[in-house]
A and B are shown apart, each in its own frame.
Chain A
């Protein structure tokens, strides 16, 4: 009897959600669906809070992941209004393939890469050479094949002539936040992660970091774009403007981002 009622209820719930697609609901409730590179997870909490003060009705909803993954999903029409990538290439490609509005491309900030460890017996003062230390057995990077921070980390190790030296120690995070999690939990002895993660209040007191010079890797310039799905979403357009406003820039700076020089 009880089982019968429960399954009937589940059936009704299922039918209900089919009959009333969430997309209709989303349009009415001012939801802004944001697909964001995971170096932004902490920063976006602050950005959203400030944005909602300016636009009390807006309801930004963040999904964090690796930029490459979102790119693939958005190409297949994933229901996100905005795409905040950790690079410029993915949003540009998306616009080129007609899945995003190229005129809305916004370079909102430039990320910085840091060497990070929570091991008390390791020192980061000598920079990347720490990685050759035998006490460093595992080095976490984001996957260079689809995460911009992973690409930057690989480039930095190559520039420093260390890529082949430390290759066997490398473990790959699915995105930069998982990479940070590997280091923070001590499963990896050190890692190359986003400054925006380790300078967030949640991790500020954890471990020590060393800023990787930008001369070692291509700049981590990040861009956002309005997707085809979001082209009628006025809130999403306002959000893009907000990213480049004085308030937005101030928040990015606080989280260790450098403001992008170019504004196009």
Chain B
């Protein structure tokens, strides 16, 4: 197996690198966007809350092709979001790395927001009240009380966002255009290898992905166990 790994076409290593880069960028953005959103979900009493929760959770149920299709339609070069995007980035949303980032962030949003929100909710209310009564602003309370007590949730959110982005296929097939080094991620590269009937390379690559994914999850699980349970 190791021997066949050394014979993997360079294109597959490139695809793997691209996938890890995409997953890292998406995970970072999801934590950035997901944390305030999850915080709002966990403290808000707004009546539209169930509505917002349902919308965020959609990608869990929705086929990825639906999301891909809507993104293609919404960001068509002739449409105004498409023109706006082009002016901002200098490229079309389809066939670009940043396009995959947008698609992946939307597609993995619930996997970041839901663990974060449940972690935030489990922070004891008296601690929040104490912080406020001692003059801590909402911001201070979030940074110094909520976040330190929610590291487990943050870890789970990061892990799921990363894993879900690595495992993505449908959105990328619709938006990507399979450009080496830009949009040909690991799942697409494997698909292409299989269609080329290049089974030895496909086997080696699939096995590599399997092992890597397993190691990421195992590592995360071990880290999770080390972190003391909050509260």
Question: Does A173 interact with chain B (Cβ within 8 Å)?
Answer: yes
Q: If the complex has contacts A185-B72, A187-B76, are A146 and B94 also in contact, measured as CB distance less than 8 A?
A: no
Chain A residues numbered 127-149 whose CB sits less than 8 Å from any CB in chain B: 137-138, 140, 143, 145-146
Partner pick for B197 among A71, A172, A173, A174, CB 8 A cutoff: A71
The stretch that binds A, out of B50-58, B172-180, B203-211, is B172-180
Q: If the complex has contacts A173-B177, A182-B177, are A146 and B196 also in contact, measured as CB distance less than 8 A?
A: yes
What A residues does B177 contact at CB under 8 A?
138, 140, 171-173, 182, 188
Q: If the complex has contacts A171-B179, A182-B177, are A187 and B194 also in contact, measured as CB distance less than 8 A?
A: no
Partner pick for A146 among B77, B92, B95, B192, CB 8 A cutoff: B192
Closest chain A CB from B51 CB (angstroms): 22
Asked whether B195 lies within 8 Å of A171 as measured between CB atoms, the reply is: no
Q: If the complex has contacts A174-B173, A182-B94, A187-B92, are A146 and B178 also in contact, measured as CB distance less than 8 A?
A: no
Partner pick for B195 among A68, A138, A186, A188, CB 8 A cutoff: A68
Closest chain B CB from A182 CB (angstroms): 7
Asked whether B92 lies within 8 Å of A138 as measured between CB atoms, the reply is: yes
Question: Does B3 interact with chain A (Cβ within 8 Å)?
Answer: no
Total interface residues on B, CB under 8 Å, equals: 17
Question: Does A10 interact with chain B (Cβ within 8 Å)?
Answer: no
Asked whether B179 lies within 8 Å of A172 as measured between CB atoms, the reply is: yes
The residue of chain A having its C-beta at the shortest distance from the C-beta of B90 within the complex is A137
What A residues does B194 contact at CB under 8 A?
72
Asked whether B179 lies within 8 Å of A145 as measured between CB atoms, the reply is: no
The residue of chain B having its C-beta at the shortest distance from the C-beta of A186 within the complex is B77
Complex-state Cα separation, A84 to B78, whole angstroms: 36
A66-107 vs B, CB cutoff 8 Å, 1 = contact: the mask equals 101101100000000000000000000000000000000000
The residue of chain A having its C-beta at the shortest distance from the C-beta of B174 within the complex is A178
Closest chain B CB from A36 CB (angstroms): 16
Closest chain A CB from B171 CB (angstroms): 13
Asked whether A68 lies within 8 Å of B77 as measured between CB atoms, the reply is: no
Closest chain B CB from A262 CB (angstroms): 26
Q: If the complex has contacts A72-B197, A171-B95, A174-B173, are A143 and B192 also in contact, measured as CB distance less than 8 A?
A: yes
Chain B residues numbered 64-82 whose CB sits less than 8 Å from any CB in chain A: 72-73, 76-78
Asked whether B95 lies within 8 Å of A145 as measured between CB atoms, the reply is: no
B115-128 vs A, CB cutoff 8 Å, 1 = contact: the mask equals 00000000000000
| Chain B interface (Cβ < 8 Å from any Cβ of A) | 72-73, 76-78, 92, 94-95, 173, 177-179, 192, 194-197
Q: A171-B94, A187-B72, A187-B95 are in contact. List 14 more A-B contacts (CB 8 A).
A: A71-B197, A72-B195, A138-B92, A138-B177, A140-B177, A143-B178, A170-B179, A171-B95, A171-B178, A171-B179, A173-B177, A182-B94, A186-B78, A187-B92
Offer 19 A-B interface pairs, CB within 8 angstroms, sorted by A.
A66-B195, A68-B197, A69-B195, A72-B194, A72-B195, A138-B92, A143-B178, A143-B192, A145-B192, A145-B196, A146-B196, A172-B178, A172-B179, A185-B73, A186-B77, A186-B78, A187-B92, A187-B95, A188-B177
